[in-house]
Structure 1
Amino acid sequence: MKVHHTLICFFFLSALQDGNAEVIFNNNISFGVVGGNLTAGFSFPAGTWKMLCRGECKGGNILINTTDEKHQSHRYSTEYTIVQYAPTLSVSITQLIMSDAGQYSCGVGESPSSVSYRQFEVVVAEALLDGNDPAQLKHFNKETGSSLTVGCSFNPSGGQKFFCRGECGEDEVLLQTDDEDASKDRYRIGFRGTSEETYGGGGIVYVTITQLTESDSGQYRCSLNPSSGQASFRLFEINVTDAVVQSAFSPSLTSSVTTEQPEKTPEGVSLPVGLTVAVIIIIIIIIVLSSLAVLIICIKRKSNRGLRTRGNSEGTNMEDVPLRELYSRFYT
């Protein structure tokens, strides 16, 4: 393979089946499949500090910051070697997951302040298709506004790459290219060979649709048409539904509605927390009103008793006079 000058970056794409690394020179895009491994290599001037970051190399975006020739942190690793007479930093991500997709930066320098950076994009496919068995047709359920990337593995190499809706008829071709990377509107194709010897071992065609809509639902195919021989293709199907409709039946919405935990009464009946508090407040109000009523009755009785006492002090209290004395007063 022809060697490019040291300012051009190149990529190693790990084999998704047997784990062997392949070397390709390409744009700053590296493709991988969920569960697989991905390694990207970049030519740099000689340096001591090596960095790998998610996005810009600042703050919490820094994944690796080391002076070691070889360093690993969780699923990320860097290795500084001499490849074809040029200092090279290779960065790797193992056990790819969908959230690994995005922009990255790596760099080498004599000091942290003099690090020179290269930016690259990681695209992660949700599945790798390697056959056309109708009984095993791959279905993808997606929400509106989301994206889908699928990898299609082929034994032949070279030729044109097609991404079609339907059977690649005249009006069904979404994207067609001879290059290893191409994009148009919401569609993208990327090709990565699985052999250093002019991709003699075949390759993988990656196809992407962004900003999915419900009208994107249907059957698709990716195809590789070699310069000699019959074209090969892989089929898959997409079902796109509105995100609002899906969320109405999602467990997350159900759990968010029932945030209050029920409390149990002494009888063992479960009541919501809000209802329990209301019952307690009503009971307290009843107790206060009952106490006020008793207090008013006691005050009234005391007032009546005081009036009777004043009346006795001003005149004769008939209740205190003996019956016999009253009788004698009446008849004498």
Structure 2
Amino acid sequence: MKVRHTLICCFFLSLQEGNPEVNINKNISFGVVGGNLTAEFRFSAGTWKIFCRGECEGENILINTTDEKHQRHRYSTEYIIVEYAPALSVSITQLIMSDAGQYSCAVAESPSSVSYQQFEVVVAEALLDGNDDQLKHFDKETGSSLTVGCSFNQAGGHKYLCRGECGEHEVLLQTDGEDDFKDRYRIGFRGTSEEKYKGSGILYVTITQLTESDSGRYRCSLNPAAGQGSFRDFEISVTDGVLLHVIITPFIIVVVVLSSLAVLIICIKRKSDRGLRTRGNSEGTNMEDVHYENCTPGSTREDSIYQSLDPAGRDQDQTYSTLTHHT
């Protein structure tokens, strides 16, 4: 699904003063892994169109062109008219998680006099559309973040992110607008302008700085209080990635060491057994010939070559065979 939004004067105000988890005065554009993202920004008329990842310098410059429409790899720009005003449309196709981050773009008369508009790209790990009967499960590590997109066949109304089923004490964040923040939680709602998806939208919910106590079942919902609400459920399991690494790494080392010792013991035993059998044959003792699997490839061939090249060994074998026959 292609998500297309117009970001013109989108300012997000902190609900909790001094909260470092809340982004202030940020243009935010949402997308889903594997999908496409398009955002539009109004500018004055200009010749140069610039699209960058972060600061516009060096390899961060994704597109720098005078063309009305330009594409480079998964990135593209198009100079368009929106409501009788010039605008720059920037797009990223086939989104991946590493696309999340800060971007900037501009339209200018010359590359030396540029005024950039900055925005943030948030990439959802999955899109929940209600077509999957199985509950979507996410495995996360402590300190990481999770963004999920919830697709609905309606737009607008009350948006909720809940821990559980949106009961009285289960609401984490609720808003009537398109975007809101509270503590570690974020809601962003984007309708779609595509004809076949008109009247529908995607509710993006984000939880940052996950802890093990965040493990559990969550719900994103539209208009649950009206009795005609739609919802999507998902589940999160949060584990301590550092602790897991500390536990697993020594275990792997122990397994490797023990396996190496076992192989070494087997090889020594087989070598000892072959030595005993060879000594028994040289003393003329009638010992049962037991075949062992060799530890290294090619050793059977090497033994055969050795025997064929050892005249004394062949004479002993022939003498032993003659004495046995006469007996």
Same fold? TM cut 0.5? yes
Q: Counterpart of 2:230?
A: 232
Q: Counterpart of 1:183?
A: 181
SS of structure 2 residue aligned to 1:167: coil
TM-score, structure 2 length as denominator?
0.68
CA distance in 2, matches of 1:247, 1:34: 27
Q: Counterpart of 1:36?
A: 35
Change (3 A) 1:202 1:25: farther
Q: Counterpart of 1:210?
A: 208
Structure 1: 4+ residue segments shifted above 3 A: 19-26, 226-229, 248-251, 267-270
SS of structure 1 residue aligned to 2:199: coil
Q: What per-residue deviation string (whole Å, max 9, x for no partner) do you get for residues 252-295 of structure 1?
A: x969x99xxx9xxxx9989xxxxxxxxxxxxxxxxxxxxxxxxx
CA distance in 2, matches of 1:36, 1:47: 30
Contact 1:160 1:225 in 2 (8 A): yes
| Structure 2: tracts of 5 or more residues without a match | 11-26, 261-270, 272-293, 297-327
SS of structure 2 residue aligned to 1:41: strand
Q: Counterpart of 1:243?
A: 241
- Matched residues, number: 245
Give the letter aligned to residue 100 of structure 1.
D
CA distance in 2, matches of 1:86, 1:136: 46
| Structure 1: tracts of 5 or more residues without a match | 1-15, 271-332
Change (3 A) 1:57 1:171: same
Contact 2:7 2:39 in 1 (8 A): no
Q: What per-residue deviation string (whole Å, max 9, x for no partner) do you get for residues 120-167 of structure 1?
A: 11110000001175x410000000000000000111222100000011
Change (3 A) 1:196 1:160: farther
Q: Taking every aligned residue pair, what percent have the same amino acid on both sides?
A: 75
1:53-132 → structure 2 map (5 Å cutoff): 53-131=52-130
Contact 1:130 1:154 in 2 (8 A): yes
Change (3 A) 1:250 1:37: farther
Q: What per-residue deviation string (whole Å, max 9, x for no partner) do you get for residues 236-260 of structure 1?
A: 0000000113334778x969x99xx
CA distance in 2, matches of 1:26, 1:154: 25
SS of structure 2 residue aligned to 1:244: helix
Change (3 A) 1:132 1:85: closer
Contact 1:158 1:227 in 2 (8 A): no
CA shift, 1:45, in A, is 0.7
SS of structure 2 residue aligned to 1:215: helix
TM-score, structure 1 length as denominator?
0.67
CA distance in 1, matches of 2:198, 2:47: 37
